[in-house]
Every structure is written in C-alpha cells, then in structure tokens.
C-alpha cells in the first residue's frame, strides 16, 4: 500500500497526538487552580502583560473572538479577570487581572517544573525541541506569506 498515507508517517498526526497527550498531563495539575488548559494560557499572557485588549490576547494565542469571548466570560465568573472598555477606542475590551487572578500566579509558579519533571527531559533536549517546533511554525508562516503574495 501507499506508505505516504500511513497514519504513523503523518507529521500532523504525531503533532496532534503529542499535543493532546501533553495537554492531558496538564489537566490534573491545573485542576487545583480551577483552570482548563486554554484558560491557563490566557492567564500566562496576562501575568506577562496585564491589561491588554482581547485582540492582542487573541493574536498571542492564535484564537479568535469566537473562542476568546466565552472563555474570558468564564474567567470573569471564576473571578480571575475583569473586563472594561478602552477609553481611547471604545471598540476595544481591556482584560485585567483581579486580586485573585494576580495571586494565582504564586500557585502556578511551580506548574512548569512539575511538567518538565513529568517529561523527564534535560535542558539541552528541551531547547532543541523548542527550536524544532518554532521551525515548524516558521515554515507554516512562510507558506502563508508565499500564498498571500500571489
């Protein structure tokens, strides 16, 4: 049979399952923080730069308003963030950490260490893998730009 159609030979499939399984690893770690994986990503962004608008948040995470609007709504219900309109541009919604959302950062501080411990990976390998993933994304973006040119 045509080898190229074999499931295990598809890089997309390996990426897809690796990502799913790593996310599964996060679930029990994030549960005590009362966060899903996607919500955790939003919190990571806000802990880096608080008070950004939804569009910026979306571009950091490659998520559109259809995903982010309800997700942020849930973070508001939990009490980790709050929304407000930007004064200079009434279209923009600013997302800001609450006291509780800020405080959560201390609790989350050990999450990365827990995960890398689970992966049992040394620093050099970790860096090499990060570069590969960055490269894959760069190739995808390059293709996107080549497309746009025509």
Q: Which of 31, 73, 105, 122 binds a second copy (CB under 8 A)?
A: 105
Q: Which does 128 bind (CB under 5 to 8 A by kind): a second copy, DNA, none?
A: a second copy
First and final C-alpha spacing in the chain? 36
CB 9 within 8 A of CB 3: yes
Query: Given the rule CB under 7 A, which residues bind DNA?
Result: 16, 20, 23-24, 27, 36-39, 53-55, 58, 62-72, 74, 83, 86, 88-93
DSSP bridge pairs for 44 = none
Q: Which does 53 bind (CB under 5 to 8 A by kind): DNA, a second copy, none?
A: DNA
Beta carbon nearer to a second copy, 26 or 69: 26
Tokens of 82: 């709050």
Beta carbon nearer to a second copy, 86 or 133: 133
The H-or-E segment that residue 128 falls in is helix 123-149
CB 100 within 8 A of CB 79: yes
Which of 7-15, 68-76, 78-86, 90-98 is the region at the interface with a second copy (rule: CB under 8 A)? 7-15
Q: Which residues of 105-128 are buried (b: 16+ CB within 10 A; e: fewer)?
A: eeebeebeeeeeeeeeeeeeeeee
Q: How many residues does the chain have?
A: 150
Q: Which does 69 bind (CB under 5 to 8 A by kind): a second copy, DNA, none?
A: DNA
CB 69 within 8 A of CB 54: yes
- Near a second copy in 69-88, by CB under 8 A: none
Residues interacting with a second copy, by CB under 8 A?
Answer: 1-2, 4-7, 9-23, 25-26, 37, 41, 44-45, 47-48, 60-62, 105, 108-109, 111-113, 115, 118-121, 126, 128-130, 132-134, 136-137, 139-140, 142-143
């Amino acid at each position: 049979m045509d080898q190229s159609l074999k499931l295990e030979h598809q890089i997309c499939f390996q990426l897809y399952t690796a990502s799913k399984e790593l996310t599964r690893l996060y679930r029990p770690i994030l549960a005590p923080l009362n966060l899903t994986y996607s919500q955790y990503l939003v919190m990571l962004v806000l802990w880096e730069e608080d008070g950004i608008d939804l569009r910026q948040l979306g571009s950091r995470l490659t998520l559109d308003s259809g995903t982010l609007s309800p997700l942020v709504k849930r973070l508001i219900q939990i009490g980790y963030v709050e929304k407000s309109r930007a004064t200079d541009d009434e279209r923009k919604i600013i997302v800001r950490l609450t006291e509780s959302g800020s405080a959560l950062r201390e609790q989350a501080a050990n999450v990365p260490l827990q995960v890398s411990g689970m992966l049992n990976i040394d620093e050099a390998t970790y860096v090499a893998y990060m570069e590969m993933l960055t490269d894959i994304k760069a190739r995808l973006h390059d293709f996107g730009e080549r497309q746009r040119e025509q």
